[in-house]
Structure 1
């Protein structure tokens, strides 16, 4: 998800104490939500095993890891991609964050993975407020498209 936000603590630590979040010092399991901390925004992916994730990547001419990628909030289309976790993370900090497990029952891992794989290569509508990458992965995991990102995007 390409969302910009102000952080309440140094380095954006305000979202790090959410229930269900783990630092990534452990290997993710298939079906886990991965939250990736890029400069000024978080991006979300779902782990599908063997070092790969599936994620919704806004379509644009912006390098994923550059500061100009915050401009991709202007995109209205995104593509579902299957890529190596290490390539999507590209040196940024990330963690396993199944943050809605306390509220919704996760779907079976088989259903999560098969649904995610069916979507690879598809272009989908993208909107930073209601059709972003966090909505995409939470819909796969819980059957509920949810995002805890701020409802109003802004630049720091």
Structure 2
């Protein structure tokens, strides 16, 4: 659950509401966040999830929070703090800054923007929005078989992230 603060502290997770999904960034201080963006420099960071599905890559950028947010709503959301222990703030920032301007694998199901920032904060990449989307699809359609098929289709588009190493530190 979001804590509603509008004044993030270094190491905080920032949840940005988009029309179909949430984009995630890590606040590093002085108005800046680190987040994954499309590899194509001309593509806006707002479309990272749709653009990167097809490229299977994203680029880590340090940008002003207000530029990443645009006209969307956002909040500090360290929702996993109840079940995971955050790393020390200096370690979170050090790990994050090592990735600036580097390309990383991108996969909606296994290596998305939320996975990236939670790996930096907790040492483990997790994404509730993926879990909720899969469960929601199962409930709406009423069959696990269709979710399995949809997962296989998305993985074929994105590549199987289980075969790639992900270490965001």
What band does the TM-score fall into relative to the shorter chain?
Answer: 0.7 to 0.9
May I ask how many residue pairs the two structures share in their alignment? 133
Of 73, 81, 84, which aligns to 1:104?
84
Aligned residue in 2 for 1:23: 4
**Superposed CA offset, 1:84-132 (max 9, x none):** 0000001110010001001110000000001101110110111010010
Structure with more relative contact order (C-alpha pairs < 8 Å, separation 6 or more) = 1
Structure 2 unaligned residues grouped into runs of 5+: 138-149, 151-169
RMSD of aligned Cα (Å):
2.1
1:41-97: CA deviations, max 9, x gaps?
21000000000000011324543346x963543230000000000000011100100
Whether the 8 Å contact between 1:35 and 1:96 is mirrored in structure 2 is yes
**SS of residue matched to 2:62:** strand
Match of 1:58 in 2: 38
Q: In the alignment, what sits opposite 1:45?
A: 25
Report the counterpart of residue 76 of structure 1 in structure 2.
56
Structure 1 runs (4+) deviating above 4 angstroms are: 151-154
Query: Match of 2:111?
Result: 131
3-state SS of paired residue (1:128): coil
Q: Give the helix-richer structure, 1 or 2.
A: 2
**2:13 — aligned with what?**
33
Name structure 1 gaps, 5 residues minimum. 1-17
Q: Normalising by structure 2, report the TM-score.
A: 0.72
Partner of 2:124: 144
Matches of 1:47 and 1:69, distance apart in 2: 19
Distance 2:21 2:37 in 1: 13
Distance 1:72 1:99 in 2: 25
Greater strand percent: which structure?
1
